[in-house]
A and B are shown apart, each in its own frame.
Chain A
Amino acid sequence: MNRPVAVSLEALVAVAAVAWATERLLPVLGLASSALLFLLPVLLASARGGLAPGLVTALAGAAAYNFFLLEPRFTFRVHELDNLVSVFVLGAVAVVTSRLASRLKAREAEALERARTSEQAAELSAVLAAGTPAAALDEGLALVARRYGTVRLLADGEPPDDAAFSSIDRAAAAWALHNGDCTGHGTQVMPAADWTFVPLAPKARRGSGVAAFARPAAGATRSEDELDQLRQVGLALGQARDRVVLEDERRERERLEERDALRRALLASLAHDFRTPLTVVIGRLELLARTQPEAQEALAAARRLDRRMTDLLGAARLEAGALAPTLEAVDLVDAVAAACDGIDLPADVALHRAIPADVPFVSADPVLLHHVLANLLDNALRHARAEVAIAAARTGDGVRLTVSDDGPGVPPDQRDAVFERFARGASGPAPADRSGGSGLGLAIVRGFAEAMGMTVTVETADSGGACFVLAMPVAPGAAS
């Protein structure tokens, strides 16, 4: 039995009870109080059952009142206007009460619906926040699918190339992606589509993917409310998806850092493993050479081997991206002096130094700069006939340091190639027997220089030899 009929029947029973009671007690209660009692069933009926049961009860109440209480009693005849008024009042009470009651009921239903929606949203958030981002997103998608039917995440907004999506679906998906609107079935935009597409991010960040919801089965349509929920679900899924992306990026970064650390550890142990035997060889040859001059040649070769080792390690550092220059104000007087101290000057070559004592400080990593200068000097000494010159001068906003030799020079068409790894001068052997380099020295010069924000080029020296030019920035705030 449906509810209005049940309520009406109950109310009619109540009317009968009131009629019976008032009929008996009329002498005690009086007519006015008895009439008021008929309001009770009407109030009950309209509050519980709404307008129709209220009106039915009002009519029944008025009839009972007329029949049992109004003179002439036990007839439906109406002598005076009284009865019309009572019918009208009972009817008005039924109308007003039922409207109030139904409004309250509607509000209650709304509140319940809101509570249910926010509970669902909270449940989804909890699922999306739990566990690893990827697992949480899968769980969340499963939950959403249970509630709203088939759902698919389109990360790049492009529906997969399968039969589930028609061309209008594709157009709707593209619109949702590019404009950040909800599109497709149930919306204002391309409602003819089978799927509903909601963006994964607020409009300001549109373009970062959409969620596609399949049309509900059995020809049902998505209501306005449901569409609002889908919009919220889309944003929640979007945030979860962002977390997955961030997590992936973090993992990738960690992996790279681990690999870098491994490379650095490998370089360090290589350095150690090569340097220890070299130390023994060089140390023993030094001792030997004190008494036996012929050991000198072996000693020089061992020292060269050590320099090549340094080159190899430097190249490996460049390759591994393990360079982290710390730039500070460096005095070229210091840098050039240290580099010159570290070289073995052949007896037949003169080294000229022209570093003005007041050259501005340059911005450099002192250790990398030391390698750069040492390699440039080493290179110049290997090609020089009789002279190597190192000089520095202030230019407009920087300092130009040159290392030049009087050797064969570098032909213009090879001026870029000499800085490549394993490049060798093609212009004949070095004049003296000073053996070739590793082919890495100049590559390291360029790599280290560029890491410090410097540029290195090669020109022709006045003597016709090579002139390497290192253009370096002046240190900020450096006094000249």
Chain B
Amino acid sequence: MSRILCVDDEPAILRLLTLVLARDGHEAITAADARQAMAAFDGGAIDAVLLDLGLPDRDGLELIPALLHRAKVPIIAVTARGEVADKVAALDLGASDYVTKPFDGDELLARLRAVLRNAGSQVATDGLLAAGPLHMDLGRHTASLRGTPVSLTPKEFALLRALIEAGGRVATHAALLERVWGKAHRDDVEYLRVTIRALRLKLEADPSRPDLIRNEPGVGYRLVAN
């Protein structure tokens, strides 16, 4: 049971979100514009935010850093325009994930579960990472799939680590490239594609029908380990 702040200027959407969230036992706190959102946020005890990017009084994108500055809660951006640039901008500004209108209730709840689960610490103190069948030992630099050791190159290891640490959320191409290859290679998408392909050959049951590492066209990659 979590308190979810829902920001949208359309009352019907807010009522729908309240009903959908209730399915998972969440409580919806609603706000119709940026000003109300800030006020409700300051009211405290918000566990996550569902933020529509098209607000009447302020660009929803601007609100992301403003909210995160007050408290580190996961934000899921809701876009109606379906513009990839909006999604990438929201993620780059610190949103944890996004959904596109019209959203699927099940999908929205799954995303919300993922971001709430990962709101806490990402790396276990003992340097062990796990996601579904995948296990990584950061200290020993080893990885295994369903208990079988997998040999990874340093780049593959770093990329898999970044994907697992994203905890089921989408990691943008630029964020992954910067993390694994450095700032200078933010735009070298081909590096990423080559290494993703190599990872899939080692991890996926059928590398031509990937199940584990999913691509969101134009946005980034998501590890779906459950």
Using CB atoms and an 8 Å cutoff, list the residues of chain A in contact with chain B. Answer: 268, 271-272, 275-284, 286-287, 306, 310, 328-331, 333-335, 337-338, 341, 353-357, 361, 365-367, 369-370, 475, 477-479
Contact = CB atoms under 8 A, between A and B. Distances in A.
A353 B218 contact: no
A331 B80 contact: no
| Residue of B12, B196, B208 with highest tally of chain A CB at under 10 A | B208
A276 B193 contact: no
**Residue in A286, A334, A361, A477 with the greatest tally of chain B CB atoms within 10 Å:** A334
B146 interface: no
Contacts of A271: 80-82
B111 to A, nearest CB: 15
Contacts of B194: 479
A278 B100 CA distance: 12
B214 to A, nearest CB: 7
Contacts, number: 109
Interface of B: 10, 12-13, 16, 19-20, 23, 54, 80-84, 101-105, 189-190, 193-194, 196-197, 200-201, 207-210, 214-218
Residue from the set A275, A283, A330, A475 with the largest chain B CB neighbour count within 10 Å: A283
Do most interface residues of chain B lie in helix, strand or loop, or is the interface mixed? mixed
Given A271-B80, A272-B54, A329-B193, A355 B208 contact: yes
Contacts of B81: 268, 271-272, 275
A279 B190 contact: no
6 contacts: A275-B102, A328-B190, A331-B197, A333-B209, A337-B210, A357-B200
Contact of B200 (A281, A329, A333): A333
B105 A334 contact: no
A284 B217 contact: no
A278 B207 contact: no
Contact of A283 (B103, B200, B214): B103
Given A271-B81, A367-B84, A333 B210 contact: yes
A328 B103 contact: no
B214 A341 contact: yes
A280 to B, nearest CB: 4
Given A286-B104, A335-B215, 12 more contacts: A268-B81, A276-B12, A279-B101, A280-B12, A282-B102, A283-B19, A286-B105, A328-B190, A331-B197, A333-B210, A337-B210, A355-B208
Given A329-B190, A333-B208, A370 B217 contact: yes
